[in-house]
Amino acid sequence: MALDVVKVIEVIKVAPAPSTSPTATISGDYLPLTFFDALWLRFPPIQFLFFYEIKDLSLSVFSNDILPKLKHALSLTLQYYPPLAGNLTWHPLTGKPAIRFATDDDGIHLTVAESAADFHSLSTDDIKEAKDMHSLLSSDFHVSQNQAKVISLQVTLFPGSGFSIGYTAHHAVLDGKSASMFIKSWAKLCHVGSLPSEMTPVLERSFINDPLDICTIFTKTWKELATEGTGLTLMEMKPEPGLLRGTFRLSRQQMGLLKSKIDGHVSSFTAVCSYIWTCLVKAEGGDITNENVYLVINMDCRARLEPPIPANYIGNCVASRIAKTKVVSLEGGDGLVTAAAAIKEAVGGLPEGVVKGAEKWFSVESAKMFAEEKIYTIGGSPLFGSYGADFGWGRPTKVEMVSIDKSGAFSLCDDRDDNGGMEIGIVLSKPKIETFSSIFYEGLK
């Protein structure tokens, strides 16, 4: 996509609607981070794109009907999510990272743009250049040593075809589930005008106990790891040039086939992640020089804490478990079974105490050790129900997790057809994604 193919029409600052939040569970003007949040303090942001197809969509309909409804609904949504209209900064008394909000300057910047690109080529599963998605995300996501935006949004018109909504969210403020819930809340308020109780966000931080002050431990670790700057500036993770993006779909029946190939009872999640892990290792071939290979699995802890916290808690509440096995084991004929066993072993300890030893999750030593290893990670989740984000003009035609081209993760998403399948987002170089595609489809025969 040429750089001039997307034209910015305007940037609007949308403030929370002028009334008290109908579900305010927090007081004051600073919302502290928890240790779950501090773990992601300097990680690159989460970035998603939602494509909505509307045939023969004109600029006038977009400007006079769609955009005003989106702006009004966003303002209403911020009544429920007031911290998202603020900024991440340092608390003046505690010195810890916190979100400052409830100021006269509150608001989310919404970029409105128009694209001359082919809507259908961008919103299909077909392999395409990864960088083509970047101009559909707001560039107005500013982070400095002492202040960072929480979220920025962009709505892009594709005349005659539809529009896209892209968000960039600070990972120390929102985990994937929280960011997805925000988008679906915005969609619900735009489409229906109200939120059901299960979608009403809970912002109270007292649910997360931290007697060891792990938040401070993690914050200090980030400062020790910094090569330049010790504030809120994010890690530099730039995509390699020439990367391609593709979506690979698995039907409910295909997932059942994968499960049948694995000895023992496994979940669809384990079967799919085992399969993608083995396909990636085979596609990378001789480029993996390490003896071992790892898969980082992020598990939602809301229902696993003691006592459990509300499912609609907004913030980070994720624990990572790391599956490990040998490269040669995944390349062999029993690779799928080996991968599944490694994943089951990694997540097996969760029920026994999800935050046990949490103070050791992140340290300078562990960060340096894993920096030299071959690690795959997983972004998104089919449980987020991303295709349920209907703003009133129908379900998304396509949902893309854009940030995987920086993080090196593969993404998981629910099935756009709502048939119980799964969509997997992959970003690799041209020869590797072609090899991956061949291996992926061959293994399903």
* Residue ranges covered by each domain of the chain: 3-225, 244-442
Give the mean model confidence (pLDDT) for residues 255-279.
94
> Is residue 20 scored above 60 in pLDDT?
no
Predicted pLDDT at 281? 96
> Is residue 372 scored above 90 in pLDDT?
no
Predicted pLDDT at 182? 98
Strand, helix or coil for residue 52: strand
Distances from the Cα of 173 to the Cαs of 31, 49, 145, 203, 268, in angstroms?
10, 19, 16, 11, 29
Degrees to nearest 5, angle at CA 312 with 310 and 315: 100
> Is residue 131 scored above 60 in pLDDT?
yes
Predicted pLDDT at 333? 87
pTM: 0.95
Predicted pLDDT at 21? 47
Same fold, 3-225 and 244-442: yes
DSSP class of 3? G
**Tokens encoding 407:** 């993080």
Per the prediction, the chain carries an average pLDDT of: 92
For 19-28, 84-93, 191-200, 355-364, which range has the lowest pLDDT when averaged over its residues? 19-28
CATH of domain 3-225: 3.30.559.10
Q: What is the pLDDT of residues 213-244, one digit of tens each?
A: 999 999 999 988 876 556 788 887 777 889 99
Q: What is the pLDDT of residues 290-328, one digit of tens each?
A: 999 999 999 999 998 988 999 999 999 999 999 999 999
CATH architecture of 244-442: 2-Layer Sandwich (3.30)
Q: What is the pLDDT of residues 46-104, one digit of tens each?
A: 999 999 999 999 999 999 999 999 999 999 999 999 999 999 999 999 999 999 998 88
Dist. CA 240–CA 218, nearest whole Å: 29
**pLDDT band of 408, cuts 50, 70, 90:** confident
> Is residue 24 scored above 60 in pLDDT?
no
Considering only residues 406 and 133, tell me which one the structure prediction assigns the higher pLDDT.
133
Degrees to nearest 5, angle at CA 30 with 26 and 33: 90
Predicted pLDDT at 286? 77
**pLDDT band of 245, cuts 50, 70, 90:** very high
Longest dimension (CA), the chain: 62
Predicted pLDDT at 3? 46
Q: What is the pLDDT of residues 418-434, one digit of tens each?
A: 889 999 999 999 999 99
**pLDDT band of 263, cuts 50, 70, 90:** confident
Please state the φ and ψ torsions of residue 29, each to the nearest 5 degrees: -115, 10
Residue recorded with tokens 């994968």? 258
Answer yes or no: are the C-beta atoms of 355 and 305 closer than 8 Å: yes
Dist. CA 211–CA 227, nearest whole Å: 30
| Catalytic residue IDs | 171, 390
